[in-house]
Amino acid sequence: MKSLKSSVNKTFAILEHFTIEKPEWSVTELAKTMDSSKSTVYRFLSDMEKSGAMYQDPDSGKYGLGLKLFELGNRVRIQSAFVDRTHPELVKVAENITETVHIAILRNKQVYYVDKVKSPQGLTINSSIGSSKPLHCSSLGKVLLAFSFSGYQEIRSKNILGPDLERFTDNTIADHFDLENELIKIRAQGYAIDREEYEIGLICVGVPIFNQRNEIVASLSAAGPANRFKINELKNYVEILKSGADRIRGKIGEFKP
């Protein structure tokens, strides 16, 4: 393991091998896979066992991740940690698009804003970090709906939306049949547009943020005034947002809240 330098790196390199797909490793096979000696790997595993981060199955002799990691995992302040990882990329997207951009997650059947970067030239957007909005009438929310569920049936059966879709503007999609078709379209094209559906004068474009397991984790959007968002520039915005989402995906690994 000499290529890994510090023991901290080696520790996490070992932990990284324990996955959902392969949750158990023997000393010998781990040593071979890591191109290290059995005694070195044995000592790392044994020390992690003492710390509770690993346990050894008494029957098979194989090692698995221990309760201490579950405990530590529960102490992670997910939003802060997530924002720390994603904020630099959000800043870059804002610089490229020069509009206000957001990242949101699905929480309590609503759009929950976790981060926001204003553009100096951007419109003052009525949103704040920590606040929630309805799902059906924003690009962030429609993206989350389209990619988080296998179909509208699941959305209805889980009561994600209410029986009635509240109308905020004349453009709000207030009919379930229309929304279902809209989500099918969003899923196909890979992005959503909010055409003044929540607030007159405001247009937003949103894309999904996936993790390394292709699970949707959040959504990313840019918002601007209706008179500045031109259809011919839309494709450009979508590309910038998708690039940002891709970079975020590289930074969050298999994270899924």
Partner DNA sequence: TTATTGTGTTTCATTAAATGAAATAAGGTT
Partner DNA sequence: AACCTTATTTCATTTAATGAAACACAATAA
Please, what is the minimum distance in Å from the beta carbon of residue 150 to DNA? 40
Please, what is the minimum distance in Å from the beta carbon of residue 56 to DNA? 6
Q: Is residue 40 a contact point for DNA (CB under 7 A)?
A: yes
Cβ nearer to a second copy, comparing 22 with 230 = 22
Q: Cβ(138)–Cβ(111) under 8 Å?
A: yes
- Give the residue ranges of DSSP H helices in the chain: 7-16, 27-33, 38-50, 67-75, 78-97, 139-148, 152-157, 176-189, 231-252
Q: Of 15, 17, 62, 171, which one interacts with DNA (CB under 7 A)?
A: 62
Please, what is the minimum distance in Å from the beta carbon of residue 118 to a second copy? 17
Cβ nearer to a second copy, comparing 77 with 108 = 77
Compute CA distances 114 → 1, 26, 106, whole Å.
Answer: 39, 41, 10
76 makes contact, choosing from a second copy, DNA, none, with CB < 5 to 8 Å by partner type, with: a second copy
Cβ nearer to a second copy, comparing 239 with 254 = 254
Stretch that binds DNA, among 7-15, 171-179, 202-210, 217-225 (CB under 7 A): 7-15
Please, what is the minimum distance in Å from the beta carbon of residue 85 to a second copy? 6
- Give the residue ranges of DSSP H helices in 57-151: 67-75, 78-97, 139-148
> 3-class SS at 192?
strand
CA pair distance 88, 100, nearest whole angstrom: 14
CA pair distance 80, 183, nearest whole angstrom: 30
Q: Is residue 43 a contact point for DNA (CB under 7 A)?
A: yes
Please, what is the minimum distance in Å from the beta carbon of residue 56 to a second copy? 8
- Give the residue ranges of DSSP H helices in 175-227: 176-189
CB atoms near residue 133 (< 10 Å): 18
Cβ nearer to a second copy, comparing 195 with 247 = 247
Q: Is residue 42 a contact point for DNA (CB under 7 A)?
A: yes
Question: Edge-to-edge, what's the strand order for the sheet holding 216-225?
Answer: 132-133, 110-117, 100-107, 216-225, 202-210, 192-195
Stretch that binds DNA, among 23-31, 96-104, 176-184, 242-250 (CB under 7 A): 23-31
Residues that bind DNA (CB under 7 A): 1-2, 4-8, 10, 26-28, 36-40, 42-44, 46, 56, 61-62
